[in-house]
Structure 1
Amino acid sequence: MRSFAFVFFFLAAINFSAAAQNDDSVFLFSYFKGNGDGLHYAYSKDGFKWKAMFNDSVVLKPAVGVDKLMRDPCIIRGGDGAFHMVWTVSWNERGIGYARSTDLVNWSRQQYLPVMEHEPGARNSWAPELTYDARSGQYYIYWATTIDGRFPQNDTAAESKYNHRMYYTTTKDFKTLEPTKLLWDPGFNIIDLSIVPNGDGYVLFLKNETRAPEEKNLRVSFASEITGPFTIPSEPIHGKYWAEGPSAVQIGGQWVVYFDKYRDHKYGAVTSSDLRNWTDVSDRLQMPKGMRHGTVLTISAAEFARMQKAFRKKKK
Protein backbone atom coordinates (compact mmCIF):
# COMPACT_ATOMS: atom_id res chain seq x y z
CA MET A 1 0.00 0.00 0.00
CA ARG A 2 2.82 2.41 0.83
CA SER A 3 4.57 1.83 -2.48
CA PHE A 4 1.27 2.37 -4.31
CA ALA A 5 0.78 5.71 -2.56
CA PHE A 6 4.36 6.74 -3.33
CA VAL A 7 3.75 6.31 -7.06
CA PHE A 8 0.92 8.79 -6.93
CA PHE A 9 2.83 11.29 -4.80
CA PHE A 10 5.50 11.17 -7.51
CA LEU A 11 2.94 11.61 -10.28
CA ALA A 12 1.45 14.57 -8.46
CA ALA A 13 4.84 16.25 -8.28
CA ILE A 14 5.58 15.96 -12.03
CA ASN A 15 2.18 16.89 -13.46
CA PHE A 16 1.68 20.48 -12.34
CA SER A 17 2.66 21.92 -15.71
CA ALA A 18 -0.16 20.07 -17.49
CA ALA A 19 -2.75 21.64 -15.21
CA ALA A 20 -1.15 25.06 -14.82
CA GLN A 21 -3.32 28.15 -15.05
CA ASN A 22 -3.15 30.07 -18.32
CA ASP A 23 -2.45 33.80 -18.13
CA ASP A 24 -5.94 34.67 -19.38
CA SER A 25 -7.84 32.21 -17.19
CA VAL A 26 -10.21 33.04 -14.36
CA PHE A 27 -11.05 30.97 -11.30
CA LEU A 28 -14.79 30.58 -10.79
CA PHE A 29 -16.38 29.39 -7.55
CA SER A 30 -19.94 28.07 -7.42
CA TYR A 31 -21.64 28.08 -4.02
CA PHE A 32 -24.90 28.46 -2.14
CA LYS A 33 -26.00 30.51 0.85
CA GLY A 34 -28.34 29.90 3.76
CA ASN A 35 -30.05 26.50 3.64
CA GLY A 36 -29.78 26.18 -0.15
CA ASP A 37 -31.13 29.31 -1.83
CA GLY A 38 -29.64 28.68 -5.27
CA LEU A 39 -26.52 29.06 -7.39
CA HIS A 40 -24.07 31.90 -6.66
CA TYR A 41 -20.70 32.69 -8.25
CA ALA A 42 -17.47 34.30 -7.12
CA TYR A 43 -14.38 34.87 -9.26
CA SER A 44 -10.65 35.37 -8.74
CA LYS A 45 -7.50 35.88 -10.78
CA ASP A 46 -5.07 34.64 -8.14
CA GLY A 47 -7.18 32.06 -6.28
CA PHE A 48 -7.07 33.95 -2.98
CA LYS A 49 -8.92 37.22 -3.43
CA TRP A 50 -12.48 36.34 -4.43
CA LYS A 51 -15.30 38.68 -5.39
CA ALA A 52 -18.98 37.80 -5.70
CA MET A 53 -20.41 38.07 -9.21
CA PHE A 54 -23.67 39.75 -10.17
CA ASN A 55 -23.99 41.42 -6.74
CA ASP A 56 -24.06 37.96 -5.17
CA SER A 57 -27.52 37.35 -6.63
CA VAL A 58 -28.95 33.88 -7.32
CA VAL A 59 -28.17 32.85 -10.89
CA LEU A 60 -30.31 29.69 -10.80
CA LYS A 61 -33.11 28.96 -8.35
CA PRO A 62 -33.72 25.31 -7.42
CA ALA A 63 -36.78 23.71 -8.99
CA VAL A 64 -36.57 19.95 -8.40
CA GLY A 65 -37.15 17.67 -5.44
CA VAL A 66 -39.77 18.03 -2.75
CA ASP A 67 -37.76 20.51 -0.70
CA LYS A 68 -36.36 22.34 -3.75
CA LEU A 69 -33.01 23.19 -2.24
CA MET A 70 -29.73 23.81 -4.04
CA ARG A 71 -26.85 22.90 -1.77
CA ASP A 72 -23.28 21.86 -2.58
CA PRO A 73 -23.30 22.78 -6.30
CA CYS A 74 -20.60 21.01 -8.30
CA ILE A 75 -19.84 22.21 -11.84
CA ILE A 76 -17.42 20.62 -14.27
CA ARG A 77 -16.58 21.08 -17.93
CA GLY A 78 -17.77 18.03 -19.82
CA GLY A 79 -16.44 16.17 -22.82
CA ASP A 80 -18.96 18.04 -24.96
CA GLY A 81 -17.48 21.40 -23.97
CA ALA A 82 -20.59 22.31 -21.99
CA PHE A 83 -20.84 22.74 -18.23
CA HIS A 84 -22.62 20.13 -16.12
CA MET A 85 -23.85 20.68 -12.58
CA VAL A 86 -25.18 18.43 -9.82
CA TRP A 87 -26.38 19.44 -6.36
CA THR A 88 -28.11 18.35 -3.16
CA VAL A 89 -31.88 18.90 -3.44
CA SER A 90 -32.85 18.00 0.12
CA TRP A 91 -31.63 16.82 3.50
CA ASN A 92 -33.74 13.66 3.24
CA GLU A 93 -34.50 12.78 -0.39
CA ARG A 94 -33.10 9.89 -2.47
CA GLY A 95 -32.20 11.86 -5.57
CA ILE A 96 -30.05 14.76 -6.69
CA GLY A 97 -30.37 17.71 -9.07
CA TYR A 98 -28.78 18.08 -12.51
CA ALA A 99 -28.61 20.82 -15.17
CA ARG A 100 -26.47 21.70 -18.21
CA SER A 101 -25.26 25.05 -19.54
CA THR A 102 -23.07 26.45 -22.30
CA ASP A 103 -22.54 29.88 -20.72
CA LEU A 104 -22.90 29.21 -16.94
CA VAL A 105 -25.86 31.61 -16.76
CA ASN A 106 -28.62 30.04 -18.83
CA TRP A 107 -29.25 26.49 -17.68
CA SER A 108 -31.27 23.63 -19.09
CA ARG A 109 -34.46 22.40 -17.48
CA GLN A 110 -33.49 21.01 -14.11
CA GLN A 111 -33.72 17.25 -13.70
CA TYR A 112 -34.21 15.10 -10.62
CA LEU A 113 -31.90 12.10 -10.86
CA PRO A 114 -33.35 9.26 -8.71
CA VAL A 115 -29.99 7.77 -7.82
CA MET A 116 -31.11 6.06 -4.57
CA GLU A 117 -34.86 5.64 -5.13
CA HIS A 118 -34.33 1.87 -5.51
CA GLU A 119 -33.18 1.67 -1.86
CA PRO A 120 -36.14 1.93 0.54
CA GLY A 121 -33.76 2.28 3.49
CA ALA A 122 -31.81 5.16 1.95
CA ARG A 123 -32.15 8.32 4.00
CA ASN A 124 -30.42 10.92 1.86
CA SER A 125 -28.23 11.78 -1.14
CA TRP A 126 -25.70 14.39 -0.09
CA ALA A 127 -23.05 16.51 -1.82
CA PRO A 128 -22.94 14.89 -5.27
CA GLU A 129 -19.94 15.53 -7.48
CA LEU A 130 -18.99 14.78 -11.07
CA THR A 131 -15.83 13.47 -12.72
CA TYR A 132 -15.57 13.07 -16.48
CA ASP A 133 -13.63 10.09 -17.84
CA ALA A 134 -12.34 10.97 -21.31
CA ARG A 135 -11.29 7.39 -22.02
CA SER A 136 -14.81 6.01 -21.79
CA GLY A 137 -16.75 9.20 -22.48
CA GLN A 138 -18.65 8.62 -19.24
CA TYR A 139 -19.54 10.89 -16.37
CA TYR A 140 -19.15 9.46 -12.90
CA ILE A 141 -21.66 10.87 -10.42
CA TYR A 142 -20.96 10.09 -6.76
CA TRP A 143 -22.50 11.13 -3.45
CA ALA A 144 -22.89 10.14 0.21
CA THR A 145 -25.87 8.13 1.46
CA THR A 146 -26.89 6.48 4.73
CA ILE A 147 -28.84 3.24 4.27
CA ASP A 148 -30.42 2.12 7.53
CA GLY A 149 -28.78 -1.05 8.83
CA ARG A 150 -26.41 -1.42 5.87
CA PHE A 151 -23.15 -0.91 7.78
CA PRO A 152 -22.24 -1.50 11.43
CA GLN A 153 -22.90 1.67 13.38
CA ASN A 154 -19.70 2.35 15.28
CA ASP A 155 -20.12 6.12 15.45
CA THR A 156 -22.82 6.09 18.10
CA ALA A 157 -22.64 9.86 18.58
CA ALA A 158 -23.27 10.62 14.91
CA GLU A 159 -25.93 13.21 14.30
CA SER A 160 -29.30 11.47 13.75
CA LYS A 161 -27.40 8.16 13.46
CA TYR A 162 -26.14 8.96 9.97
CA ASN A 163 -23.54 6.46 8.78
CA HIS A 164 -22.62 7.48 5.25
CA ARG A 165 -20.78 5.60 2.53
CA MET A 166 -20.02 6.74 -1.00
CA TYR A 167 -22.11 5.51 -3.94
CA TYR A 168 -21.89 6.16 -7.67
CA THR A 169 -23.50 5.80 -11.06
CA THR A 170 -22.28 6.48 -14.59
CA THR A 171 -23.93 8.10 -17.58
CA LYS A 172 -23.10 9.48 -21.00
CA ASP A 173 -26.16 11.66 -21.45
CA PHE A 174 -27.66 12.26 -17.95
CA LYS A 175 -30.82 10.55 -19.18
CA THR A 176 -29.84 6.91 -18.83
CA LEU A 177 -28.11 6.08 -15.54
CA GLU A 178 -26.31 2.82 -14.90
CA PRO A 179 -27.36 0.93 -11.73
CA THR A 180 -26.07 2.57 -8.57
CA LYS A 181 -23.12 0.82 -6.89
CA LEU A 182 -21.14 1.21 -3.70
CA LEU A 183 -18.06 3.30 -4.49
CA TRP A 184 -16.17 3.33 -1.20
CA ASP A 185 -16.51 1.96 2.30
CA PRO A 186 -13.34 3.14 4.05
CA GLY A 187 -14.54 1.72 7.36
CA PHE A 188 -15.78 5.03 8.70
CA ASN A 189 -18.51 7.60 8.15
CA ILE A 190 -17.51 9.41 4.92
CA ILE A 191 -18.99 12.32 2.94
CA ASP A 192 -17.93 15.11 0.56
CA LEU A 193 -15.72 13.13 -1.81
CA SER A 194 -14.04 15.00 -4.68
CA ILE A 195 -12.14 12.98 -7.30
CA VAL A 196 -9.64 14.93 -9.40
CA PRO A 197 -7.72 13.54 -12.42
CA ASN A 198 -4.00 13.68 -11.77
CA GLY A 199 -1.45 12.28 -14.22
CA ASP A 200 -2.33 8.67 -14.98
CA GLY A 201 -4.52 8.37 -11.91
CA TYR A 202 -6.70 10.30 -9.50
CA VAL A 203 -6.33 12.16 -6.24
CA LEU A 204 -9.29 12.07 -3.86
CA PHE A 205 -10.21 14.61 -1.22
CA LEU A 206 -12.71 13.42 1.38
CA LYS A 207 -14.25 14.18 4.74
CA ASN A 208 -14.03 11.80 7.68
CA GLU A 209 -17.45 12.53 9.17
CA THR A 210 -16.92 10.53 12.39
CA ARG A 211 -18.41 12.34 15.38
CA ALA A 212 -16.93 10.27 18.21
CA PRO A 213 -14.07 10.00 18.61
CA GLU A 214 -14.16 13.39 16.91
CA GLU A 215 -12.79 13.66 13.37
CA LYS A 216 -14.82 15.96 11.09
CA ASN A 217 -11.72 16.58 8.99
CA LEU A 218 -10.44 16.38 5.40
CA ARG A 219 -8.00 13.79 4.09
CA VAL A 220 -6.36 12.66 0.84
CA SER A 221 -6.33 9.30 -0.95
CA PHE A 222 -5.17 8.05 -4.38
CA ALA A 223 -6.32 5.59 -7.03
CA SER A 224 -5.37 4.44 -10.51
CA GLU A 225 -9.06 4.23 -11.49
CA ILE A 226 -12.03 6.37 -10.49
CA THR A 227 -13.67 3.38 -8.83
CA GLY A 228 -10.55 2.35 -6.92
CA PRO A 229 -8.99 0.57 -5.22
CA PHE A 230 -8.20 3.55 -3.00
CA THR A 231 -5.18 4.01 -0.78
CA ILE A 232 -5.63 4.39 2.97
CA PRO A 233 -6.64 8.00 3.61
CA SER A 234 -3.94 10.34 4.89
CA GLU A 235 -3.91 12.11 8.20
CA PRO A 236 -5.97 15.35 8.31
CA ILE A 237 -4.60 18.01 5.96
CA HIS A 238 -5.62 21.01 8.10
CA GLY A 239 -5.76 22.18 11.70
CA LYS A 240 -8.01 21.13 14.57
CA TYR A 241 -11.28 22.54 13.30
CA TRP A 242 -14.28 21.07 11.52
CA ALA A 243 -14.22 21.34 7.73
CA GLU A 244 -16.23 20.05 4.78
CA GLY A 245 -16.72 20.42 1.04
CA PRO A 246 -13.12 20.15 -0.25
CA SER A 247 -12.52 21.50 -3.75
CA ALA A 248 -9.07 21.56 -5.33
CA VAL A 249 -7.24 23.41 -8.09
CA GLN A 250 -3.59 23.78 -9.08
CA ILE A 251 -2.09 27.29 -9.08
CA GLY A 252 1.51 27.98 -10.00
CA GLY A 253 2.87 24.57 -9.05
CA GLN A 254 0.79 24.29 -5.88
CA TRP A 255 -2.32 22.37 -5.01
CA VAL A 256 -4.88 24.62 -3.34
CA VAL A 257 -7.75 22.93 -1.50
CA TYR A 258 -10.66 25.14 -0.44
CA PHE A 259 -13.16 24.07 2.20
CA ASP A 260 -16.05 25.30 4.28
CA LYS A 261 -15.11 25.88 7.94
CA TYR A 262 -18.80 25.62 8.62
CA ARG A 263 -18.80 25.97 12.40
CA ASP A 264 -16.72 29.14 12.05
CA HIS A 265 -18.95 30.45 9.24
CA LYS A 266 -16.06 31.13 6.90
CA TYR A 267 -13.91 29.52 4.23
CA GLY A 268 -10.45 28.04 4.63
CA ALA A 269 -7.69 26.70 2.37
CA VAL A 270 -4.49 24.69 2.47
CA THR A 271 -1.69 24.39 -0.10
CA SER A 272 0.80 21.68 -1.00
CA SER A 273 3.36 20.95 -3.70
CA ASP A 274 3.49 17.19 -3.06
CA LEU A 275 0.06 16.25 -1.61
CA ARG A 276 1.80 15.14 1.59
CA ASN A 277 2.85 18.33 3.37
CA TRP A 278 0.18 20.98 3.79
CA THR A 279 0.25 24.66 4.75
CA ASP A 280 -2.81 26.45 6.05
CA VAL A 281 -3.36 29.65 4.06
CA SER A 282 -6.84 30.49 5.32
CA ASP A 283 -5.68 33.93 6.45
CA ARG A 284 -4.89 34.81 2.83
CA LEU A 285 -8.44 34.23 1.63
CA GLN A 286 -10.89 36.99 0.90
CA MET A 287 -14.25 35.39 0.22
CA PRO A 288 -17.84 36.65 -0.12
CA LYS A 289 -19.68 36.69 3.18
CA GLY A 290 -21.97 33.76 3.82
CA MET A 291 -20.74 31.49 1.04
CA ARG A 292 -21.20 27.78 1.67
CA HIS A 293 -19.88 24.46 0.32
CA GLY A 294 -19.16 24.76 -3.40
CA THR A 295 -16.59 23.97 -6.09
CA VAL A 296 -13.86 25.74 -8.02
CA LEU A 297 -13.56 25.74 -11.81
CA THR A 298 -11.10 27.35 -14.24
CA ILE A 299 -12.56 29.19 -17.23
CA SER A 300 -11.06 31.42 -19.91
CA ALA A 301 -11.25 35.20 -19.90
CA ALA A 302 -13.49 34.97 -22.97
CA GLU A 303 -15.89 32.63 -21.15
CA PHE A 304 -15.90 34.98 -18.18
CA ALA A 305 -16.83 37.89 -20.45
CA ARG A 306 -19.60 35.81 -22.03
CA MET A 307 -20.99 35.05 -18.57
CA GLN A 308 -21.28 38.76 -17.83
CA LYS A 309 -22.91 39.45 -21.19
CA ALA A 310 -25.37 36.56 -20.77
CA PHE A 311 -26.33 37.72 -17.29
CA ARG A 312 -26.97 41.30 -18.45
CA LYS A 313 -29.11 40.01 -21.30
CA LYS A 314 -31.01 37.66 -19.00
CA LYS A 315 -31.86 40.50 -16.63
CA LYS A 316 -33.34 42.72 -19.35
Structure 2
Amino acid sequence: MAEVPGALNAWAPEMFVDDGGVCHLIWSSVVDPRPDDERDWHHTAQEQRIWHARTEDFETFSEPALFFDPGHPVIDATVLRDDGRFVMAYKDERGDNDPATPHKNILLTTFTEPGGRFTPPIGPVTPPLVEGPSLFRRGEERVLIFDHYAEGGYGALATRDFVSWEPAAVSLPAGMRHASVVELP
Protein backbone atom coordinates (compact mmCIF):
# COMPACT_ATOMS: atom_id res chain seq x y z
CA MET A 1 0.00 0.00 0.00
CA ALA A 2 3.06 2.27 0.10
CA GLU A 3 2.35 3.43 -3.46
CA VAL A 4 -1.38 4.08 -2.90
CA PRO A 5 -1.95 7.80 -2.20
CA GLY A 6 -3.62 8.29 1.18
CA ALA A 7 -3.10 4.68 2.38
CA LEU A 8 -2.93 4.79 6.16
CA ASN A 9 -2.67 1.14 7.17
CA ALA A 10 -2.63 -2.46 5.96
CA TRP A 11 -3.57 -5.16 8.42
CA ALA A 12 -5.31 -8.51 8.94
CA PRO A 13 -3.76 -10.19 5.89
CA GLU A 14 -5.25 -13.44 4.60
CA MET A 15 -4.68 -15.54 1.50
CA PHE A 16 -6.73 -17.86 -0.70
CA VAL A 17 -5.98 -19.70 -3.94
CA ASP A 18 -8.23 -19.63 -7.00
CA ASP A 19 -8.91 -22.53 -9.40
CA GLY A 20 -5.97 -21.48 -11.58
CA GLY A 21 -3.49 -21.66 -8.70
CA VAL A 22 -3.13 -17.89 -8.32
CA CYS A 23 -2.73 -16.72 -4.72
CA HIS A 24 -4.92 -13.82 -3.68
CA LEU A 25 -3.81 -11.73 -0.74
CA ILE A 26 -6.53 -9.70 0.98
CA TRP A 27 -6.21 -7.21 3.83
CA SER A 28 -7.95 -4.24 5.45
CA SER A 29 -6.88 -0.66 4.70
CA VAL A 30 -8.02 2.92 5.11
CA VAL A 31 -7.30 5.15 2.14
CA ASP A 32 -7.89 8.80 2.94
CA PRO A 33 -5.96 11.40 0.95
CA ARG A 34 -6.73 14.23 3.40
CA PRO A 35 -3.80 15.63 5.41
CA ASP A 36 -3.42 14.33 8.98
CA ASP A 37 -4.57 17.62 10.49
CA GLU A 38 -7.92 17.28 8.68
CA ARG A 39 -8.72 13.81 10.09
CA ASP A 40 -10.48 13.32 13.41
CA TRP A 41 -9.17 9.86 14.36
CA HIS A 42 -10.75 9.87 17.81
CA HIS A 43 -14.31 10.77 16.85
CA THR A 44 -14.82 9.58 13.28
CA ALA A 45 -15.10 5.98 12.13
CA GLN A 46 -12.35 5.02 9.72
CA GLU A 47 -13.46 3.94 6.28
CA GLN A 48 -11.78 0.51 6.18
CA ARG A 49 -12.24 -1.61 3.06
CA ILE A 50 -10.85 -4.93 1.86
CA TRP A 51 -7.93 -4.64 -0.57
CA HIS A 52 -6.31 -7.26 -2.79
CA ALA A 53 -3.20 -8.27 -4.71
CA ARG A 54 -2.38 -11.41 -6.71
CA THR A 55 0.81 -13.44 -6.96
CA GLU A 56 1.87 -16.72 -8.50
CA ASP A 57 5.35 -16.85 -6.97
CA PHE A 58 5.43 -14.53 -3.90
CA GLU A 59 8.17 -12.55 -5.66
CA THR A 60 6.04 -10.44 -7.99
CA PHE A 61 2.64 -9.02 -7.07
CA SER A 62 -0.14 -7.19 -8.87
CA GLU A 63 -0.80 -3.60 -7.92
CA PRO A 64 -3.05 -3.35 -4.85
CA ALA A 65 -6.69 -2.83 -5.75
CA LEU A 66 -9.95 -2.46 -3.90
CA PHE A 67 -11.46 -5.95 -3.51
CA PHE A 68 -14.63 -5.51 -1.42
CA ASP A 69 -16.58 -2.35 -0.63
CA PRO A 70 -20.16 -2.84 0.60
CA GLY A 71 -20.56 0.92 1.17
CA HIS A 72 -19.54 0.93 4.83
CA PRO A 73 -16.40 0.11 6.86
CA VAL A 74 -15.37 -3.56 6.86
CA ILE A 75 -12.27 -5.38 8.13
CA ASP A 76 -10.85 -8.85 8.76
CA ALA A 77 -11.99 -10.74 5.66
CA THR A 78 -11.27 -14.44 5.28
CA VAL A 79 -12.17 -16.70 2.34
CA LEU A 80 -13.03 -20.40 2.07
CA ARG A 81 -13.40 -22.28 -1.23
CA ASP A 82 -16.62 -24.28 -0.91
CA ASP A 83 -18.77 -26.19 -3.42
CA GLY A 84 -17.74 -24.28 -6.55
CA ARG A 85 -17.79 -20.84 -4.97
CA PHE A 86 -15.87 -18.75 -2.47
CA VAL A 87 -17.43 -17.84 0.89
CA MET A 88 -16.05 -14.71 2.54
CA ALA A 89 -16.59 -13.85 6.21
CA TYR A 90 -15.89 -10.26 7.25
CA LYS A 91 -16.48 -7.88 10.12
CA ASP A 92 -19.00 -5.06 9.78
CA GLU A 93 -16.93 -2.27 11.36
CA ARG A 94 -19.75 0.26 11.77
CA GLY A 95 -20.91 1.47 15.16
CA ASP A 96 -19.38 1.77 18.60
CA ASN A 97 -17.71 -0.87 20.73
CA ASP A 98 -20.90 -1.29 22.75
CA PRO A 99 -22.67 -4.65 23.18
CA ALA A 100 -25.94 -2.97 22.15
CA THR A 101 -24.62 -2.03 18.70
CA PRO A 102 -26.36 -3.67 15.73
CA HIS A 103 -22.93 -3.98 14.07
CA LYS A 104 -19.37 -5.07 14.97
CA ASN A 105 -20.34 -8.62 13.98
CA ILE A 106 -19.48 -11.13 11.25
CA LEU A 107 -21.36 -11.28 7.95
CA LEU A 108 -20.87 -13.55 4.93
CA THR A 109 -20.90 -13.02 1.19
CA THR A 110 -20.07 -15.32 -1.69
CA PHE A 111 -18.46 -14.93 -5.10
CA THR A 112 -17.57 -17.31 -7.92
CA GLU A 113 -14.56 -15.45 -9.27
CA PRO A 114 -12.07 -13.17 -7.45
CA GLY A 115 -12.87 -9.62 -8.49
CA GLY A 116 -16.35 -10.66 -9.61
CA ARG A 117 -19.74 -9.89 -8.13
CA PHE A 118 -20.49 -10.52 -4.47
CA THR A 119 -23.85 -11.82 -3.26
CA PRO A 120 -25.87 -9.71 -0.82
CA PRO A 121 -24.67 -10.07 2.79
CA ILE A 122 -25.77 -13.08 4.81
CA GLY A 123 -26.22 -12.49 8.52
CA PRO A 124 -25.02 -11.28 10.85
CA VAL A 125 -24.07 -14.81 11.87
CA THR A 126 -22.40 -13.79 15.16
CA PRO A 127 -23.25 -11.56 18.08
CA PRO A 128 -21.75 -8.05 18.18
CA LEU A 129 -18.27 -7.17 19.42
CA VAL A 130 -16.44 -9.92 17.53
CA GLU A 131 -13.79 -9.80 14.82
CA GLY A 132 -10.95 -11.80 13.27
CA PRO A 133 -13.07 -14.55 11.67
CA SER A 134 -11.64 -17.73 10.19
CA LEU A 135 -13.60 -20.35 8.23
CA PHE A 136 -12.56 -23.99 7.86
CA ARG A 137 -13.94 -27.43 7.06
CA ARG A 138 -14.38 -30.05 9.74
CA GLY A 139 -15.91 -33.17 8.24
CA GLU A 140 -19.27 -32.19 6.75
CA GLU A 141 -19.39 -28.97 8.76
CA ARG A 142 -18.00 -25.54 8.03
CA VAL A 143 -16.75 -23.91 11.21
CA LEU A 144 -16.46 -20.17 11.85
CA ILE A 145 -14.23 -19.06 14.71
CA PHE A 146 -14.10 -15.44 15.87
CA ASP A 147 -12.46 -13.28 18.51
CA HIS A 148 -14.68 -11.82 21.27
CA TYR A 149 -12.21 -8.92 21.51
CA ALA A 150 -14.05 -7.07 24.28
CA GLU A 151 -14.29 -10.21 26.43
CA GLY A 152 -10.90 -11.74 25.65
CA GLY A 153 -12.10 -15.10 24.37
CA TYR A 154 -13.09 -17.02 21.25
CA GLY A 155 -16.40 -18.22 19.87
CA ALA A 156 -17.19 -20.88 17.28
CA LEU A 157 -20.23 -21.71 15.18
CA ALA A 158 -20.80 -24.58 12.74
CA THR A 159 -23.03 -24.89 9.68
CA ARG A 160 -23.70 -27.28 6.82
CA ASP A 161 -25.53 -24.73 4.65
CA PHE A 162 -24.24 -21.25 5.67
CA VAL A 163 -27.79 -20.41 6.78
CA SER A 164 -28.35 -22.34 10.03
CA TRP A 165 -25.59 -21.99 12.63
CA GLU A 166 -25.08 -23.88 15.89
CA PRO A 167 -22.49 -23.37 18.64
CA ALA A 168 -19.40 -25.48 17.93
CA ALA A 169 -16.86 -27.00 20.28
CA VAL A 170 -13.27 -26.08 19.47
CA SER A 171 -10.06 -26.23 21.45
CA LEU A 172 -7.92 -23.12 21.06
CA PRO A 173 -4.75 -21.98 22.84
CA ALA A 174 -5.29 -19.58 25.74
CA GLY A 175 -4.77 -15.93 24.85
CA MET A 176 -5.11 -16.50 21.10
CA ARG A 177 -6.24 -13.52 18.99
CA HIS A 178 -7.23 -13.31 15.32
CA ALA A 179 -6.43 -16.86 14.27
CA SER A 180 -6.25 -18.54 10.90
CA VAL A 181 -6.72 -22.25 10.33
CA VAL A 182 -4.43 -23.90 7.84
CA GLU A 183 -4.91 -27.48 6.72
CA LEU A 184 -1.61 -29.25 6.09
CA PRO A 185 -1.17 -32.55 4.26
- Range class of TM-score, shorter chain: 0.7 to 0.9
Q: 141, 144, 147: which is aligned to 1:257?
A: 144
How far 1:160 moved relative to its partner? Answer: 5.8
Which residue of structure 1 lines up, in the alignment, with residue 37 of structure 2? none
Q: Which runs of 5+ in 1 are unaligned?
A: 1-115, 151-155, 301-316
Partner of 1:278: 165
- Per-residue deviation, 1:161: 3.6
Residues 1:290 and 2:178 are matched in the alignment: no
Q: What's the offset of the Cα at 1:169?
A: 0.8
Aligned residue number for residue 117 of structure 1? 2
Q: Is the 8 A contact 1:158 1:211 kept in 2?
A: no
1:231 partner SS = coil
Q: 1:237 aligns with which of 119, 125, 140?
A: 125
Structure 2: runs of 5 or more not aligned: 35-39
Amino acid at match of 1:190: V
Paired residues of 1:146 and 1:165 also in contact (CA < 8 A): yes
- Equivalent in the alignment of 2:88: 204
1:128 alignment partner in structure 2: 13
Separation in 2, partners of 1:293, 1:273: 23
Q: Deviations over 1:215-238 (max 9, x none)?
A: 110011111112221011112112
Q: Which has the larger radius of gyration?
A: 1
Look up the match of 2:155: 268
Aligned position for 1:180 = 64
CA–CA distance in 2 between the matches of 1:298 and 1:208?
A: 27
* Number of residues of Structure 1 aligned to a counterpart in Structure 2: 176
1:248 Cα shift?
1.2
Find the aligned partners of 1:263 and 1:159 in 2 and give their Cα distance.
Answer: 19
Secondary structure (helix, strand or coil) at the match of 1:144 reads: strand
Secondary structure of the structure 2 residue equivalent to 1:215: coil
- Cα–Cα, structure 1 residues 159 and 248, in superposed 2: closer, same or farther, change >3 Å? farther
Distance 1:271 1:158, change over 3 A: farther
In 1, the alpha carbon distance for the partners of 2:135 and 2:93 equals 19
Structure 1 stretches of 4+ with a deviation exceeding 4 A read 156-160
Q: Matches of 2:43 and 2:149 in 1, distance apart?
A: 15
- How has the CA–CA distance of structure 1 residues 159 and 184 changed in structure 2, closer, same or farther, with 3 Å as cutoff? farther
Q: What's the TM-score, normalizing by structure 2?
A: 0.86
Answer whether contact 1:157 1:211 (CA < 8 A) is retained.
Answer: no
Greater RCO (Cα-Cα under 8 Å, separation 6 or more): 1
Asked if the contact 1:124–1:145 (Cα under 8 Å) also holds between the matched residues in 2, the reply is: yes
Per residue, is there more helix in 1 or in 2? Answer: 1
> Secondary structure of 1:236's match?
coil
Q: State the Cα RMSD in Å.
A: 2.1
Residue identity (%) = 32
Alpha-carbon distance in 2 for matches of 1:235, 1:228: 21
**1:294, distance to aligned residue in structure 2 (A):** 1.3
Which secondary structure does the structure 2 equivalent of 1:298 belong to?
Answer: coil
Contact 2:25 2:54 in 1 (8 A): yes
Counterparts of 1:128 and 1:147, CA distance in 2: 16
Pairwise CA distance, 1:157: 9.3
Report the AA paired with residue 228 of structure 1. Answer: G
CA drift of 1:299 comes to: 2.6
Deviations 1:107-132 (A, max 9, x none): xxxxxxxxx01123111001011111
Q: Structure 1 residues 159 and 197, CA, compared in 2 at 3 Å: closer, same or farther?
A: farther
In structure 2, C-alpha distance between the alignment counterparts of 1:252 and 1:140, rounded to whole Å: 25
